Amino acid sequence: MPAKFSPLTIAVSAVLVAALSGVGTTYALWNQAHSQTGGVITNGDLQLDNDAFSWQETTPAKSTNLASGTTAASVADFLGVNGDEVELRYRVTAVLTGDNLQAEVNVAWTPPAPTLPSGLSVAGYRVYDGELSQLVPLTALGTQSQPEPLESTGPGGTVSTQLVIAVVVRWSAAPTYTGDFTSTTVAESLTELPITVTLTQVR
């Protein structure tokens, strides 16, 4: 007595046939057994460590007396004016373990993105190597970039690379006039810059 297939069975079979024909392969039943001692499966790794923070004034028109600091609090004391630029530098260690593994860097706002006041902008980010040689020029936030060394090759290859991710902050506001010649108050208002630095495998 022939088996009666349910509609579900027929539908699944039809999908299978379609899939097989779509990829143009043949389907045959054969079987062969071979015994072998168990091998070791090595898992890969992708790691990003934030080692240190610093900031550096990079105002284009200046070459000397550039402001800098190593704490987040000290950035707030920088009195940016029209034409000024500062890099918020995150020294990170990127570790890639795996065969033929490649990764890219991205810097984006940590949602929700802040509303920046007029006269203040974040132009993007740059990537340097550990010696501060530029690897990636100014790139818009949210755009992945490919620093050259972020690639592990060969069986079980591991690459540990120190990078400096630099978020570029620029000021464009004209200063306001005051008759106050005694105040030591610095900036009128402070704006948080919440960022997320991501290392993403692309291969």
Partner 1 sequence: MKGNSTGTRHHDAAAGPGMQHRRSARTDRNAIVTFIATTALSISLVFGIGVGAWALWSANFTDSDVQVGIGAKVGFAVGRIEVATTESASATAPAQVLNIPTLTSEDAETLLASTPVNGERTLAIPIRVQLRADGNLGIQYSAELPSFDSGTVFGESTIRLFPLSSNDDSAAVNACTAAAAPATQPPTEDVVGIATGDTSLTIATDYWCLTVVYTEGGTYTNVGEASASSTASPNADPSPTVTVDPTEIAASDSWQAYVVDSGMYGWVHTVTVP
Site for partner 1 in 19-78 (CB under 8 A): 19-20, 23, 27, 44, 46-50, 53, 55, 57, 59, 61-62, 64-65, 67, 72, 75-78
Q: Which residue in the set 56, 113, 120, 157 belongs to the binding site for partner 1 (CB under 8 A)?
A: 120
- Asked if 125 interacts with partner 1 (CB under 8 A), we say no
Task: Return the half-sphere exposure (C-beta side, CA atoms, 13 A cut-off) of residue 54.
Answer: 13
Minimum CB separation of residue 189 from partner 1 in Å reads 6
Q: Residue 115 interacts with partner 1 (CB under 8 A)?
A: no
Specify whether the CB–CB gap between 109 and 195 falls below 8 A: yes
SS3 for 18?
helix
Give yes or no for residue 117 binding partner 1 (CB under 8 A): yes
Least Å distance, CB 155 to partner 1, is: 18
The single residue among 110, 134, 158, 160 that binds partner 1, judged by CB under 8 A, is 110
Alpha-carbon Rg of the chain, whole angstroms? 27
**Could you tell me the smallest distance in angstroms from the CB atom of residue 147 to partner 1?**
15
CB 44 within 8 A of CB 101: yes
37's CB contacts (< 8 A; 6+ apart) are none
Binding to partner 1 in span 135-174, by CB under 8 A: 169, 171, 173
Q: Which residue has the tokens 């570029």?
A: 168
Alpha-carbon distance 48 to 94, whole Å? 5
In angstroms, give the least distance from the CB of 37 to partner 1: 22
